[in-house]
A and B are shown apart, each in its own frame.
Chain A
């Protein structure tokens, strides 16, 4: 299993802990990650400015992976969605491919559709599989209960193929359970983190995220698990601001990117997983875990 690791922008330039934890766990799960030079933004944030630009940027990254003979492995819901959407259109319209290739030729690239884009959830539940994950654990999270936050772009638009079922997602739940923890249904589970709105109206986005955190607070979860840097940044990096905006100081929700939690159960040190860089109260949860593991 060999993939071109596609980090997009935020993980690469800021959310280093997502990258760290992913590299650590994938190496131990037999997934080789190749760094292809030249990857750019997938274009998702430019959709509102000019949709064809997003189209071009997504196609471009596919073409780069194609040149290496690799599939893309995306760690971001947004990247995976925009690239999937663009691939969906290109694979159905040869005229569109021609138009895109005219532009790609400027950089000496070509799109023929040979490369796919894979999501973290697909790699872990498919290629690696829950069984292999289970056998790679050295310690479990029995007794812990996490709220899976899938993120809108892992669910929709389903017509282009998404890693999760848009109305009844289960894969992230299964991956959390593979770690020995409990993953439960909660009514707000499909709610949007509000990130995309944050680019234009940060206060409303914070309120949106806060509403979800407030609801989760009362449901007995030990933390929230995300699979997208946008969602991660909103709930983790901005949790302090959210608390103030929604006037709920009681919000204390540890937020983990899935590979961080997986890394912990594989026996890896918290610092190697970048957990010291999480801004939500993960230390409390990790302390409880370590107490439990010490026996």
Chain B
């Protein structure tokens, strides 16, 4: 049995309890439009096909809606398994969506996923925080310490 971390189930996801009823897949929005089926992911984990999962494209199709873990009658949290596989794929240097790197770099440099944007109304007039009278909000006072703490979290083991 491999330990798959879960924030809510601190002992790890009890994937062996899955009896393949398929309730998770039935409620999964990604399953309707794409290939991902939480049930199948759990089955493959039960059978030790981790490598295949890490290299699959479908582990990235999760919408993070949490329906699978909310409704599972066996206390399995397929969502945590999928996230865990995603994290492992990243660590192993396997292909993953580029947007994640963009977001991560932005957070490192300015503590937010993006910088202040210019927005437009129906007449193509542009606005920003200042012109809309919104207060100037400050980033972390010690960005270096922030970055250090952020980088350290990459080597945390929360299992």
Contacts and interface: CB of A to CB of B under 8 A. Distances in A.
A45 interface: yes
Q: How large is the interface on A (under 10, 10 to 19, 20 to 34, 35 or more residues)?
A: 35 or more
Contacts of A96: 10, 158
B95 to A, nearest CB: 12
Given A47-B64, A88-B7, A200 B141 contact: no
A159 B156 CA distance: 24
B112 A9 contact: yes
Given A41-B112, A52-B154, A46 B107 contact: yes
Interface residues of B, number: 67
B86 to A, nearest CB: 4
Contacts, number: 204
Contact of A50 (B29, B133, B142, B154): B154
A168 to B, nearest CB: 13
Contacts of B56: none
A51 B158 contact: yes
A195 B63 CA distance: 7
A49 B100 contact: yes
Contact of A60 (B10, B65, B117, B149): B149
A194 B29 contact: yes
B111 interface: yes
A107 B153 contact: no
Contacts of A197: 29-30, 61-64
A106 B149 contact: yes
Interface in A182-202: 191-192, 194-197, 199-201
Contact of A107 (B8, B96, B117, B142): B142
Given A152-B67, A159-B8, A51 B121 contact: no
B154 A53 contact: yes
B138 A55 contact: no
B138 A277 contact: no
A196 B142 contact: no
A217 interface: no
Contacts of B116: 12-14
A9 B113 contact: yes
B1 interface: no
Interface string B57-96: 0001111111101100000000000011011001100001
Interface string A39-71: 111010111111111011100100000000000
11 contacts: A20-B134, A40-B107, A45-B103, A89-B10, A107-B146, A152-B63, A192-B65, A199-B103, A201-B61, A208-B29, A208-B33
Given A14-B117, A38-B141, 16 more contacts: A37-B138, A40-B111, A41-B107, A49-B86, A51-B7, A52-B156, A56-B153, A57-B150, A96-B158, A107-B146, A108-B145, A152-B66, A153-B66, A196-B65, A199-B99, A200-B99
